[in-house]
Amino acid sequence: MSLRKSPWLQSLSAFALLGALAGCAVPPPMGPTVVAMPAPGQPFSSFQHNDQACRYYAQQQVAGQGQGATQAANNSAAGGALLGAAVGALIGAAGGNAGAGAAIGGGSGLLLGAANGGAVAQNAASNIQAQYNIAYSQCMVGNGEQMAAPPPSYNSYTYPSPAYPPPGY
């Protein structure tokens, strides 16, 4: 059975391609991931108004960036499929079956391209969220609100290993 004659396999291939590409979509930030606090003595209703205005401002600052990042991620997946199909066809031709090689290479390339596209999308989403947080924080501070300090970083540079034996032992 060849891929050309099997509509079921062609449908499955198309569905897999769409699923892989859909996984690369970069959603816009849903809101800030930083903590804002009302200024001392300020009514909470004023804080809520500033919060909504600053969310809108931050959203405007990152508007449209998700579409470009999604396109780059999708191009990575599609490019991987095309490159895999070409390499697979060359290897398959050497073995006497270029069609099977192209199908296997295209599937493998799609999977690797989609994985890379997912990494591109995740990195883009993190960068867009960081830009959103900066715009939101600047707006909130500009309106007199306070931003909570970020949590401490827990890495090997923050907490050096203890000296052995402890001093004074």
**CA 16/CA 81 separation, integer angstroms:** 11
Q: What is the DSSP letter of 92?
A: H
- From the DSSP assignment, how many helices (H) and strands (E) are in the chain? 4, 2
Nearest to 69 by CA among 118, 114, 20: 118
pLDDT recorded at residue 149? 82
137 near 148, Cβ under 8 Å? no
Nearest to 66 by CA among 3, 124, 136: 124
65 near 105, Cβ under 8 Å? no
Cβ count within 10 A of residue 123: 13
pLDDT recorded at residue 153? 61
What are the CB-based long-range contacts (under 8 Å, 24+) for 1-4?
A: 2/99, 3/99, 3/103, 4/99
pLDDT recorded at residue 8? 45
Digit-by-digit pLDDT tens for the chain (169 residues) are: 444 544 444 444 554 555 544 555 667 788 999 999 999 999 999 999 999 999 999 999 998 887 766 676 667 666 766 666 666 666 766 667 767 766 666 666 666 666 667 777 777 788 889 999 999 999 999 999 999 887 666 655 555 555 565 556 5
pLDDT recorded at residue 120? 72
**CA 24/CA 124 separation, integer angstroms:** 10
DSSP H or E run through 102: helix 98-142
pLDDT recorded at residue 41? 93
In three-state secondary structure terms, 37 is strand
